[in-house]
A and B are shown apart, each in its own frame.
Chain A
Amino acid sequence: MSFSVVGTRIPRVDGRDKVRGKAVFAADLFVPGMLWGAVLYSEFPHAKILRVDKEEALKTPGVYAVLTADDVPGQCDWMGFPPLAHGKVRFLGDVVAVAAGENMEAARLALRKVKVQYEPLKPLFSPEEALAPGAPEIHEGCKGNIIPMSHHKIRKGDITAGFAAADVILEREYRTQRVEHSYLETEAVLAVPDGSNESMTVYTCAQYPFSTRRAVAEVLGLPYAKVRVVQTTVGGTFGGKEEVIGMLAARAALLAAATGRPVKMVNTREDSFIQSSKRHPFIMRYKIGLSKTGRITALEAELICDGGAYNARAKNMNWRASVHATGPYEIENVKVDVYGVYTNNVYGGAMRGYSSPQVIFAHETLMDEAAAALSMDPVEFRLKNCFRGGSVTATGQVLKEVVPLRELISKVNGELGRDREAGNLPNSDGAPGPFVQGSQGDEHIRFGTGLACCFRGCGLGAEYADATGAMITIQRDGSVYLASSLSEVGQGLKTALSQIAAEALGIRVDRIVFADTDTSFIQDGGSTVASRGTYIGGRAVLAAAKTLLESLKGVAGEVLGCPADQVEVRKEEFIRRPYYCDGAESTGGPSGSSERSGERSSERSIQRSSEGSSERRSSIRFDELITECAKRGVNLSAVGWFSPGPVVVDRETGQGNAYPDYSFGCVGAKVAVDTRTGRVRVLEVVAGHDVGRAINPDCVEGQVYGGVAMGSGFALMENFRTKDGRPIDANLDTYLLPTSLDVPDVKGILFETGGSDGPYTAKSLAEPATEMVGAAIARAVSNALGVTFRELPITPERVVAAASDCPKPTDATKEARLQT
């Protein structure tokens, strides 16, 4: 199958505005009469609110409203989160009051005058504390502080027999940290009430504008249709701009409704750190049974995540964790339990990879430990146990697609040069890179390699109904308006979907204008999450394009004098099939069959010309066809809707076909470790991904590079530390992310296996791009030092501590080199 638009490296359709600084963000919006909103945070991580007195605050000059939960006209909670705390506070990011003033300073000054009486309760800062018998309930009636619906189970085979059959059994515990999304743009919202104050328009950088709409409608007690959320340019989200945006929008809308004036709220970086969700920290306890021959006989896992004070994600995220807990390995006997636990920490939410970066770190470290216990090479061990076509997953799903995992592992391993003597050469070409100049022969610098592999269910799977929409409208001048229920959040959705639409309609991509998401103009199609933008969103675009093509071909057929099914589209041209002749198909050539032999079609064309039918047109250009459609009053707007269909999984055993398709990947890392300072330098990352098909290879590679940067931060630097529930790292000066100087060389290897149900067989990539990177780097550092790191991040201090235990090199000390 050849394509004209899909698979080409067109520039991002939203790139020009962004690089020229012309893109408009929510914080850039100013409207006449606009007030500024500010928030008052809880003083305690866990307390009862006894009394709130705002009398003094209301007297502040320039202040138009001070609101508490008592002033909420609709529901106080949205998705279990209170935009204004009522009754209790459960973490330090809870907001007790909001104020609107002529400027930010006035609003803040008013809030300083709000008097809140609390009765402090015992705070719980770890899952262990929250699960301990007798621990107070953070949410009333929530026994044991286990988040409702967050317990997911996998029961496959006979776990007891599996361990009985094992020659070696390992038990290990792994831990990961809390991570902040750190998107470039902090949260901002502008709420504009209409004149009669009965409806509300909200401009914001929401990841999922329909969820934001729900938050606003519910707190105001308005029907959804009276709330319009317009998405402004999103300066990054990575899963983060959902709960925090819903609450910010709800607060701004409450203030706007109370004052009858537009209200803008913009988070500082400190606000963003306090209010926004974080990657869930996990405690992961694994037990693995191994045969002497190197097979896995049984795997048992108990995974516990710290869900924080409120949680809307653990119920879905933990299900994903349970399905993927074994990693991409054939294991007959499996028992997995995943729980989410409430604590008085900042809440956990979705972050690129969801639970996978955490779980992959655990199972890939476990695989290396298992291989070591069997004295096997870790790559050989993986090749022996990993999925192949026809393998059965832990949920009993038979993999019917192409499974290129063994090829990916072999390829990545080869690129890493693991076959050569470890520790000798830092670079694959044998030449010392800039990093190692002057360190050649330094016994304090160790080199290591590691790799991690994974499978990833594409889309939402059985989390909840996966379905989404798109709308294409062809304008009379031939320009095309494309809208999607899913949103551009920086990932490249506008570009990918534009390419898919252009390919399907047979037109140039520059005809397409991609609309920003507006909840009043398109239907709710779920959140832009789970790497489903292209994979599911693209199918909805194809569905809309199919409807339009039928109309277009119908009109083309009328013009060309043939039935619609005898019209082909190629490069802006609608063409009568070459073998079609007057008076219907003679020998019953099946419609839509483009595989007819060249011999036959040439025969037809000869016949046609001999009949002198050259006067009859054989094709019509797209522009002319649009005019013909307009003349005939043909509808050229279509809504497409796509759902892969319901996924049925048994909730007691977790058995079933969990996802329609899986992506596969393998990432390798090469590091140098200075055992004296503890510095880890990632020299190279080789990222192998089965992408199904790359709709735009530039965008795919961009995802891979960004994913590597993010994953290296997860492995080595990022840790949202708190003390007694309060962030230690209040801003990006101490919460450190990798900079361009810390990002390694990245080699992306894309496998286009082409076997999925996605649009043009594309699969998910956004999350696979980052989810293995942390694990691969962690394995490389462990390999360099001969010490297994079971907790992230691997900070210099942890390296120094581990290096003091690690085996020393045997060569003689370099005493002579220091003599002058």
Chain B
Amino acid sequence: MLLKTEFVKARSLEEAFCAISDRADASFVAGGTDLFVQIKEGKRKPSRLVSVREVPELLGIDLQRGSVVIGSAVPLSDVASSAVVAGHAPLVADACLQIGSPQVRNRGTIGGNIGNASPAGDSITALIASGARIRVKSLAGEREILLEASFLGPGKTVLSPDELITAVVVPVIQDHTRVAFEKYALRGGMDIAIVNVAISLDMVDGLVTDARIALGAVAPTPIRAVEAERTIRGNRPSSSLIEEAARVAARECCPIDDVRGTASYRRHLVYVLTKRALAKVCQGNVGRVWGCAR
């Protein structure tokens, strides 16, 4: 009668895969900040939880061949406070610091934030704008997927149940790259984004050579504002160009009405936040702005 859930604490990747493969409805768990809520609400009923929180292979932050490689079980608070991440993937550090509360960031992991596949996931937009890939492993083998290609819908990814995200691979920020992250939520902390926007622009001699704009909570998955990127790419930034790109971004997203905001308000916020982030980037002042979560 009681929901009986077995809890297995894996000490190595091998142990984790063994524990997941011999039970059909087993589930990986790291911090549990999303999964336990889903279990409580009856949305998930795993008969076995395989904790990967203490698997050593999933716990490092390293620089490898031009990328920051963050183990999937690294807590969000460690990502946010890591000097390596702050120096080489500042967008990711900034976004992770804006998730939930200190308690949630201490429990929650970067792999979990991705695997939960919320359209509003704060780390996800930042990682997409940074061009991140994820390493995914199962007993069958290992593969690397471009992060933005891994989402199918709210809570849905291309991963199979026996696959585990082992690491996030973020290309090191270039000297000519400027980034900004904007989250808008009703309150200053412990709140889910109504909209978040992450921007990464490559600027050479005053020209935008490449632009990556990621939007969260305005579509079934986090998306890239490809039209807005096209608008700005190859051009010299000006207030009119920023204005236009922000309008294009607002047009190309497809938000819905929900408990946190209406579709039209979200569209409006995409315009406001994209414009703010672009203005900030074009001025070269990478840093926090007023509308952010703190």
Question: Which residues on A are within 8 Å of B, measured CB to CB?
Answer: 61-62, 103, 105-106, 109, 435-439, 442, 445, 674, 676-679, 717, 721, 728-729, 733-734, 736, 738-742, 795-797, 800, 815, 817-820
- With A105-B3, A106-B1, A797-B265 already in contact, the answer to whether A677 and B291 are too (CB < 8 A) is yes
Contacts of B268 in A (CB 8 A): 800
Question: Which residues on B are within 8 Å of A, measured CB to CB?
Answer: 1-3, 101, 184, 186-192, 206, 236-239, 242, 259-262, 265, 268-269, 272-273, 276, 279, 282-285, 287-291, 294
Contacts of A818 in B (CB 8 A): 238-239, 242, 279, 282-283
Which residue of the partner chain, among B186, B236, B285, B290, contacts A717 with CB atoms under 8 Å? Answer: B186
Dominant secondary structure of chain B at its interface with chain A: loop
Q: Kindly provide the distance from the CB of A816 to the nearest chain B CB, expressed in whole angstroms.
A: 9
Cβ-closest 7 pairs across A and B: A741-B188, A818-B239, A676-B272, A734-B259, A741-B189, A439-B290, A797-B265
Contacts of B285 in A (CB 8 A): 438
Contact assessment for B186 and A674 in the assembled complex, using a CB-CB cutoff below 8 Å: no
Contacts of B184 in A (CB 8 A): 677, 679
Contact assessment for A739 and B282 in the assembled complex, using a CB-CB cutoff below 8 Å: no
Best-buried of B237, B283, B291 by chain A (most CB within 10 Å): B291
Q: Kindly provide the distance from the CB of B155 to the nearest chain A CB, expressed in whole angstroms.
A: 15
Best-buried of B206, B239, B289 by chain A (most CB within 10 Å): B239
Contacts of A106 in B (CB 8 A): 1
Best-buried of A436, A438, A729 by chain B (most CB within 10 Å): A438
- With A105-B2, A674-B291, A717-B187 already in contact, the answer to whether A820 and B237 are too (CB < 8 A) is yes
Could you jot down 13 A-B contacts, CB within 8 Å? A62-B1, A438-B287, A442-B290, A728-B259, A734-B259, A738-B187, A741-B187, A742-B187, A796-B261, A817-B283, A818-B239, A818-B279, A819-B239
- Assembled-state Cα–Cα distance A120/B27 (Å): 42
Contacts of A741 in B (CB 8 A): 187-189, 294
Contact assessment for B188 and A800 in the assembled complex, using a CB-CB cutoff below 8 Å: no
Which residue of the partner chain, among A734, A795, A819, contacts B238 with CB atoms under 8 Å? Answer: A819
Best-buried of A677, A729, A819 by chain B (most CB within 10 Å): A677
Contact assessment for A103 and B2 in the assembled complex, using a CB-CB cutoff below 8 Å: yes
Contacts of B186 in A (CB 8 A): 717, 736, 795-796
- Assembled-state Cα–Cα distance A442/B283 (Å): 15
- Assembled-state Cα–Cα distance A420/B287 (Å): 32
- Tell me the nearest residue of chain A to B291, going by C-beta: A677
Best-buried of A679, A717, A739, A818 by chain B (most CB within 10 Å): A818
- Tell me the nearest residue of chain A to B238, going by C-beta: A819
Contacts of A815 in B (CB 8 A): 239
Contact assessment for B242 and A436 in the assembled complex, using a CB-CB cutoff below 8 Å: no
Which residue of the partner chain, among B191, B206, B239, B288, contacts A736 with CB atoms under 8 Å? Answer: B191
Q: Kindly provide the distance from the CB of A235 to the nearest chain B CB, expressed in whole angstroms.
A: 19
- Assembled-state Cα–Cα distance A739/B2 (Å): 35
Contact assessment for B260 and A734 in the assembled complex, using a CB-CB cutoff below 8 Å: yes
- With A797-B261, A797-B262 already in contact, the answer to whether A820 and B284 are too (CB < 8 A) is yes
Q: Kindly provide the distance from the CB of A514 to the nearest chain B CB, expressed in whole angstroms.
A: 33
Contact assessment for B290 and A445 in the assembled complex, using a CB-CB cutoff below 8 Å: yes
- Tell me the nearest residue of chain A to B276, going by C-beta: A676
- Assembled-state Cα–Cα distance A418/B108 (Å): 45
Contact assessment for B261 and A677 in the assembled complex, using a CB-CB cutoff below 8 Å: no
Q: Kindly provide the distance from the CB of A178 to the nearest chain B CB, expressed in whole angstroms.
A: 15
Contacts of B2 in A (CB 8 A): 103, 105
- Assembled-state Cα–Cα distance A738/B283 (Å): 33
Q: Kindly provide the distance from the CB of A781 to the nearest chain B CB, expressed in whole angstroms.
A: 15
- Assembled-state Cα–Cα distance A438/B262 (Å): 29
Additional A-B contact list (7), CB under 8 Å, known A103-B2, A820-B282: A439-B290, A442-B290, A679-B184, A728-B259, A797-B262, A800-B268, A819-B239
